[in-house]
Amino acid sequence: IDDGDDYDEVVADMNSESFAVMTREQTHQREKVTQPLKKSKEQPATIPVIAKRGSPLPTSSAPK
């Protein structure tokens, strides 16, 4: 009976550890998926702004 209880505890510990590892992997996968999306959303928004800011600068400095 004692051996059975110990086995159950070990299985519970293994399940909890594997569950923690799975959640960590899922969070890492979510971060990998969300980070590129954030970058892709930010880049198209910032690139046109830089182009708009950069285009008037040469034109304003050219006549000078």
Instruction: Identify the pLDDT of residue 46.
Output: 53
CA angle, 26 then 32 then 37, to 5°? 125
pLDDT at 31: 62
Identity of residue 52: K
The pTM of the whole model exceeds 0.75: no
pLDDT tens figures, 11-22: 666 566 666 666
Task: Give domain limits for the chain.
Answer: 2-61
Q: Characterize 10-42 residue by residue with b for buried, 16 or more Cβ atoms within 10 angstroms of its Cβ, and e for exposed.
A: eeeeeeeeeeeeeeeeeeeeeeeeeeeeeeeee
